[in-house]
Amino acid sequence: MAATVLPEATRRVPLAFDDKGEPVFDTVCSPKSFRMRARGVIPPCHVIPVIFVPGIMGTNLRMNEAANGKKLAAWSPPNGTADGLGEVRKRKAQVPKDRQLQMTASRTEVDDRGKVELPQGVLTLTTDEAVRRGWGQLHFDSYGHVLAELERSLNDQYEEPGKPGSKKMAVWAVAQTLMKNAPIQSCTGEGDPCFRPEMIDVRTVWNAVKGTVSALTEDEFTRLDDFYYPVWAYGYNWLDSNEAAADGLCQRIEEVLAWYDKTKYFMTQGKVILVTHSMGGIVARRAAQKDAGKILGVVHGVQPVCGAPVVYRRFRAGTEVGSFFNFTGAAVATIVGWDAADITCVMANSPGALELLPTKNYPPGWLTVSQNITGEPIVELARALPIADPYEEIYSKRVQDVWWGMVDETLIDPAKLSKDKDSTPMGMYRNALKIAKKLHDTLGLYCHHNTYAHYGSDKQEVSFGKVHWFTNHRLQNSIKAELMGLPAASWTLQGEVNLTYNNNSIKFELANRPGREGGDDADSGDGTVPSPSGATIERTDGAHCVFRMKGFDHQGSYSNRDVVDNVIYCIGKVIQNAMPAKNFPTEKS
């Protein structure tokens, strides 16, 4: 007599794939005395791949064959505290020459050997499959969570898919009701019960500034079941131009679609969905500009749509720390670049980094010079720049020419790579800047015709909406007319300049970021991208819905629950533009 099958013993078998991309389920037999039933949730045969595009410094890089036959890591951001401390020690001991040799576009390539760990509950792919889809190319601590969240939420949709009566995941309940639980309140005292307040409308959190936010209907939610949404990652060499990265993304889209179309089980509609973070949005916009037909829709997160003034500041002062006791900020600055020497040797030779400079679409006048004397009103000493053309008015200026110039020529090429290119340090820089300007002019304010986006606008996460040079000296009117044309007598690598005028010494400094209660609306943001840049996406024709949000920092934005809920809601809306699966064959011929 056969043993009784116990329903409570049923277990979910993870979905796996063979080397040809066909879905398989691997399981084992259990004893006859306790027959455990295996439950395999078969994915739909119709596929809409989702490709995640990270921001600058979000892709692991290694030295290529031309630079180092061993393919040693060139940029591998730390995962966890122990890794972080180790990376700080290595970078602290690194001189600019070695940093340039290690981090030059022509000497580096994407490194796919990064950490990949699937959290418990993700059963729609295996670790090996995640590696094959490129997850190891991305910095795991920054993006591992959102990749797994997208994979699970899009493909399971229910807490226990395949079981009768299983409830919808919380993220889809939010998408369908536009309501969420308010934050849990602490107990008021011993013996008092903790409580959860009433539900709140997520529209008050998402804060749409363009478009209409309507709940996902039951019919729209049901349509999600028609497709399988494998989540891929696209790592790119962010030292090189976003133009090259966009070409690579177009190629990745082709490869991903071809992977499923060649299988016996899966079939595509020839379209993917792109989800981006930061500079990845610029890459995706340019890729869409090249080939919009293969993209069903795009969801952008914290994109510096028209650049960020902080890039100028880092050329002169290194990475901002914030305060003396900001140990985390100090560690990040050590890794990214402590001072102007660390920054310039990399960024001056990197079109990708220069493409984050403010474009002509950024509000003009973001570079100011003022007299700040305690107890007196601030006095503007010169007309704020740029007036019309930031490339000529700011980016082409050397420190050797004018005291406020952006680039110190002596810091561009400590490794002497210009000799191999039959050029000069300034020649290399001008060429990289020319590439960046061309991309800015070509891309303009284009975005895909089916775009959703969110950006940060939080005064608790202040950014450099403007960059301020200031002096505590009282200047006479005679110097003001000549001030912007004066050379520097001396300068430091952390944003201090000394001028000499009529035998008087005048010191200027670059202001640090304003305090959380200081600054104006231009300084609100996500700690990196200022609100004016993120908000520029509102001016594009293709943006259906744009959200102005608070409560997260730039790098950690995809770890914020409200952001993830919003992005998955947007993907749910994007999917409604797909051709209904019923209009396609259910089997391949």
| DSSP string computed for 486-527 | PPPSEE-TTSEEEEEETTEEEEEEE--PPPTT-S-GGG-BSS
| Residues 411 and 344: beta-carbon distance below 8 Å | yes
| Residues 508 and 403: beta-carbon distance below 8 Å | yes
Please report, as a single letter, which amino acid is at residue 204. T
- Give the residue from 558, 546, 564 showing the smallest Cα distance to 455: 546
∠ Cα 577 256 247 (to 5°) = 90
Beta-carbon-side half-sphere exposure of residue 141 (alpha carbons within 13 Å): 12
- pLDDT on residue 34: 61
Q: Cα separation of 207 and 205, whole Å?
A: 5
Buried b (16+ CB within 10 A) or exposed e, 185-224: eeeeeeeeeeeeeeeeebeebbbebbeebebbeeebbebb
β-pairing, 61-63 vs 73-75, is: antiparallel
Q: Cα separation of 66 and 68, whole Å?
A: 6
Q: What is the CA radius of gyration of the chain?
A: 26
Q: Cα separation of 324 and 41, whole Å?
A: 54
| Residues 155 and 43: beta-carbon distance below 8 Å | yes
| Residues 147 and 234: beta-carbon distance below 8 Å | no
Which tokens belong to 277?
């973070």
- Give the residue from 108, 114, 117 showing the smallest Cα distance to 137: 114
Q: Cα separation of 407 and 405, whole Å?
A: 6
Q: What is the pTM of this model?
A: 0.93
Which tokens belong to 286?
């340019």
Regions of the chain where pLDDT drops below 70: 1-9, 30-36, 183-197, 321-335, 514-520, 586, 588-589
- pLDDT on residue 327: 41
| Residues 498 and 490: beta-carbon distance below 8 Å | yes
- pLDDT on residue 519: 43
Give bridge partners of residue 38 from the DSSP assignment: 11
Helix ranges (H only) for 422-507 are: 425-443, 477-480
Q: Cα separation of 330 and 198, whole Å?
A: 41
Which tokens belong to 367?
């570079």
Q: Which residue is associated with the tokens 């001056």?
A: 348
Q: pLDDT, tens digit, for every residue of 28-84?
A: 776 666 666 778 889 999 999 999 999 999 999 999 988 877 889 999 988 887 887
Q: pLDDT, tens digit, for every residue of 345-355?
A: 999 999 999 99
CA 239 to chain centroid: 15
Beta-carbon-side half-sphere exposure of residue 271 (alpha carbons within 13 Å): 16
β-pairing, 46-47 vs 267-268, is: parallel
